[in-house]
Structure 1
Amino acid sequence: MKRKPSFVLFTLLLVSLLIFTACSKTNSTEESASPEGTQQTDNAAATKAPPKEEEKHEPVTLKLLAWHVGAHQELFDKFHEKYPWITIEVVESGVDKAVAMQAAGDPADLVWISGLSPWLKDGMLEDLTPYIAKDETIQNAKIIDGFLDAFKTPDNKTWAIPYTAISEWIVVNKDLLKKHGMEMPPYDWTYDDMLEMAKKATDPAANEYGISYDALFSQQFSWILPVANGNAQNLRYFNEDLTKNLVDTPGVQADLKWLQELTTKWHVRPTDEEAKKLGWEQANNFLTGKVLFTLGADWVIPGYNEHATFEWDILPLPKGKAKQATVQILGPIGILSASKHKEEAFKWLSFQFELEAQKWNVNNGSSPFVIHPEIDAEIDRTPTWEGKDREVVKMTRTMCCNLPGPTIPGLDFFDANIDLQLYQAMTSGADITSLIPAVEKFNENTLKIRKELGW
């Protein structure tokens, strides 16, 4: 917040300015009375630079390979207002599309990325390291630790940077809290606290449960708990440098068992059969008003604000035995090496770190990744979080951990053969040790691809 100068200081400055102006006029009159003074005045006029003309630009259309536009069109429009000669056009995503456009002589410029290895294999991405080093907006911004390097590869190159951040938190039905004589827990609550509260709120006869039945909760919590308990160093059960998946280790196995028992032992979450009878398989069952806790992110806010018939709020995810962790979903974007407009393309990447774009993130429920007083003020006043605990929004954005993905070679195999089965097992009680052979195969394959990439 800028301070207004005091009246006394303002008066002193004004007096000084008047004195300086008077002296300047006196000196100018004295100099013009002599030949030397006249010559200096003439020289100054002769060397005065002409008014600078507004820089002219040829129109540029940046083609962005993406799978969704949605609210981002508003941000594209804000960028266009700042750079009127640059327009962003979204086209179909994918490596094949990029190759086809390049072969046709009309290459794409930007790409949203799910995995780096398919793009790096044929040198399709531009190294962003030198662009970042000379960009004043990024260099002058106070950025959340580790954010900018989230997709840096082991060869110390940055092929993609995050263009968006989405933090996850617990959403609480406050009406159910009151019904069962409970209050909102403190920010440093634990997983044991969550379980005990879920037990109190569970009443199968009334179709009320402590924890929601949905794929997001099952999947994401199975990623988070091993990190919170110190049994994995990265989300998705990975070690520190992402070279090994740890689902086959005793610690991760124990964490997954604890999550399964929310259904199979404590029954604070419905079984698959119960969820089917309730019609909760596809619908967002939190909006029924029958669930105490669910997992939330920016995409649920509009629906909850519009359709919830009960009072709700948010909490940070609980503390584990080692740390308090959440999922930070980062959307990676890169520049195609075949782009004919690389400098303009990087202007879009740089724009994400400006206050205008950061405030747009806040108002859309996403997490700002630049730390600035104006950003905190925007969180405090945005209608998006009206009546909700805005301090949770602020504290969650800096919590561990960024969701790894693009820098994990062979992630498609992991998703299809390990992760899918794991989150299905959370409510079915399936034997998670049966996935160990697939984990071993993945670990062998990911090391092979890393070697091919020179990592």
Structure 2
Amino acid sequence: MKFRKKSPRKFAIVSTMIMLLAFLPILAACSGGDSGSTPSPTAAPSTAASASPAATAKKDPVTLKVLTWNAGPFQKLFDKFHEKYPWITIDASTKINGGIIKNVIAGDQADLVFLDNGLSEWMSGDLLEDLTPYIKKDQRIQSAKKVDNLLESFATGGKQWTVPFSDIPMWILVNKDMLKKYGMTMPKNDWTYNDFLEMSKKATNTAAGDWGMVGMGHEFTSIMTMANGSAENYRYMNKDSSQSVANTPAIQEDFKWVQDLTNKWHVQPTAQEQKDLGIPAVAEEAFIKGNVLFMLGADWMLETVQKAKFEWDVLPMPKGKKQQATIHQAGPIAIPKASKHKEEAFLYISFLFDVEAQKTMIETGSSAFVKDPVLENYFGQVPLWKGKNVDALKLSANMCCFSSDPRLVNLGELVGKVNGPIDKLIRDGGNISTLFPAVEAYNTKALETRKALGW
């Protein structure tokens, strides 16, 4: 799909001059020299573009329109932001037209967008504000002790079009009642994939309707390939997410191992068995029935999991041949170029790096991409995690690897033509090599797209 550019070059130059004039008072306030001191992550924002206006200044009310597929746990962040900056209200719209980019192209007002299909399609339409100059001037982001390579993993073409709005590491949920039923205890946090399999075998009793696991598909497999060193990045991608490595021999061994969970060891029901036995297709709904030992978990499942009538807990992802890895589902947030409230929109992005915002993320079941002793200790203070394996949460918070979907081009094609079919073959059985032509076709087109975008 091609998009017309928004304005001619002459208009862009005039707009740039207007923006520069508008920022002169702010820049003047920042030019008093660098004292050499580094403010703490919790310090008030700078007087740069994202600065918090003076508390005594009377501000006109502003409403930021956010386009997202689900407000859910993020509503607490929106509320916390409004509490800190009371003249700014966030209105989250979940009325998505089959893809958030379609809403923006259709002219829907938006000040912040959660990217739901990668970044490359937005770049083709020149639809997003470059956040690089905002970030460089923002003391809160600059001084925050961020997870290593966090912003870099979201940068493309030397620019920062988007940053993470969340840090959602995935872990294993365990039914502790089933552990007791089959004479097992919680494993140590450095358990392995073989431990995971052997425990699943012990808990599988199809006559009693008991299963070792449910829902171990693409995400579980992708995490295991990173743990084994077969893939360096999420979604079976190489280090810079430029090419799929789903057609390599090492990956094929991992695919076979996961296929065997269902088709050899039968510790997980097939899709047909789930249907025939009335096991819910949604993993967390199946888990709370009480007859599944393990499930791949994340914060968005916790609302359902808390309804369970049995005792449950959390384990970190198992150790692989190379490392103990998980995937941090770090969703991207961006500012559309058409936003009328860019300064206030970036203030929300800056706010995400505040310790109080990061604490709110932990309260809703996710993690923190800012590192601070206050945050590390906060897991044990959150009611949600009372009596749970808090050390597993801390370990997962510091574990490799962060999703770098913004750097991955043609994400919809990768999911639709490569990873989606792989997931089906993993569950249903079949030769993954039949998808090699699709992998090669994606890789060829990905190189062409990256070249066209200057990546």
The TM tier, using the shorter chain, reads 0.7 to 0.9
Distance 1:430 1:133, change over 3 A: same
SS at match of 2:172: strand
Instruction: Please report how far the alpha carbon of residue 256 of structure 1 lies from its aligned counterpart in structure 2 after TM superposition.
Output: 0.3
Aligned-partner Cα distance in 2 for 1:54–1:294 = 51
Mapped to 1, the partners of 2:89 and 2:309 lie a distance apart of 41
Q: Counterpart in 1 of 2:5?
A: none
- Check conservation: 1:62, 1:110, Cα contact below 8 A: yes
1:391, CA displacement in angstroms?
A: 1.1
CA RMSD of superposed structures (Å): 1.7
Q: Contact 1:301 / 1:384 at 8 angstroms: preserved in 2?
A: no
2:123 — aligned with what?
Answer: 120
TM-score, normalised with respect to structure 1: 0.83
Contact 1:150 1:162 in 2 (8 A): no
**Alpha carbons of structure 1 residues 274 and 108: separation in structure 2 relative to 1, 3 Å:** closer
Mapped contact 2:274–2:281 kept (Cα < 8 A): no
2:101 and 2:213 mapped to 1: Cα distance? Answer: 39
Measured against aligned partners, the alpha-carbon deviations of 1:62-118 in whole angstroms (never above 9, x if no partner) come to: 22222222332332222122222222222345223223337xxxx522111121111
Could you say if the C-alpha distance between residues 275 and 95 of structure 1 is closer, same or farther in structure 2, counting changes exceeding 3 Å? Answer: closer
**Contact (CA 8 Å) 1:368, 1:375: kept in 2 or not?**
yes
Matched-pair contact (CA < 8 Å) for 2:240–2:407: no
2:378 maps to what in 1? 378
Residue 454 of structure 2 is matched in structure 1 by: 454
Of 342-351 and 73-82, more deviation after overlay is shown by: 73-82
Distance 2:273 2:105 in 1: 47
Amino acid at match of 1:397: A
Task: State the alpha-carbon separation in 1 of the partners of residues 256 and 239 from structure 2.
Answer: 23
C-alpha separation between the residues in 2 aligned to 1:345 and 1:273?
47
Partners in 1 of 2:146 and 2:233 — Cα distance? 21
Q: Which runs of 4+ in 1 moved over 3 A?
A: none
* Structure-2 separation of matches of 1:273 and 1:96: 35
Cα deviations by residue, 1:374-413 (Å, 9 ceiling, x for unpaired): 2233211111101101111111012111123222111111
Distance 2:58 2:378 in 1: 34
Please give the per-residue CA displacement for 1:247-298, whole angstroms capped at 9, x wherever unaligned.
Answer: 1111101100110011111111122332222212424221121111111111
State the partner residue of 1:62.
Answer: 64
Where in structure 1 are there 5+ consecutive unaligned residues?
A: 1-51
Native 8 Å contact 1:236 1:404 kept in 2: no
Structure 1 position 250 matched with structure 2 position 252: no
- Hey, what's the Cα distance between the residues in 2 that align with 1:243 and 1:53? 46
**Percentage identity across aligned positions?**
47
Letter in 2 for 1:338: A
Which residue matches 1:299? 300
Task: Tell me by how many angstroms 1:347 deviates.
Answer: 0.4
Equivalent-residue separation in structure 2 for 1:122 and 1:273 (angstroms): 42
Aligned to 2:413: 413
Residue identity opposite 2:273 in structure 1: E
Contact between 1:180 and 1:201, CA under 8 Å: does it hold in 2?
Answer: yes
Greater shift, 428-437 or 269-278, is seen at 269-278
Q: Does 1:100 align with 2:106?
A: yes
Partner of 1:319: 319
SS for the counterpart of 2:331 is: strand
Q: Give the whole-Å Cα distance in 2 for the aligned partners of 1:242 and 1:344.
A: 32
Structure 1 residues 304-453: aligned runs within 5 Å: 304-305=305-306, 307-453=307-453
Q: Which amino acid aligns with 1:358?
A: Q
**Aligned partner letter, 2:124:** K
Structure number with greater Rg is 1
Instruction: Tell me: CA distance 1:342–1:269, structure 2 relative to 1, closer, same or farther (3 Å).
Output: same
SS in 2 for 1:145: coil
- Higher deviation after alignment, 61-70 or 136-145: 61-70
1:136 aligns with 2:139: yes
Q: For residues 425-455 of structure 1, what are the alpha-carbon distances to aligned partners after superposition, in whole Å with 9 as ceiling and x for unaligned?
A: 2221122111111111100111110011011
Structure 2 counterpart of 1:185:
187
Task: Specify whether residues 296 and 54 from structure 1 end up closer, same or farther in structure 2 by C-alpha distance, changes over 3 A only.
Answer: same
Q: 1:285 & 1:171 partners in 2: Cα distance?
A: 12
Cα distance in 1 between the residues matched to 2:267 and 2:160: 44
Count of matched residue positions in the alignment of Structure 1 and Structure 2: 395
TM-score using structure 2 length: 0.83
AA aligned opposite 2:351: F
For residues 248 and 136 of structure 2, the distance between their equivalents in structure 1, rounded to whole angstroms, comes to 40
Q: Counterpart of 1:186 in 2: which secondary structure? A: coil
Distance (whole Å) between structure 2 residues aligned to residue 203 and residue 89 of structure 1: 49
User: Which secondary structure does the structure 1 equivalent of 2:439 belong to?
Assistant: helix
Question: How far off is 1:53 after superposition?
Answer: 9.1
Secondary structure in 1 matching 2:154: coil
Residue 152 of structure 1 corresponds to which residue in structure 2?
155
Give the aligned residue type for 2:352: Q
Cα distance in 2, alignment partners of residues 138 and 58 from structure 1: 25
Check whether the contact 2:65–2:90 (CA below 8 A) recurs between aligned residues.
yes
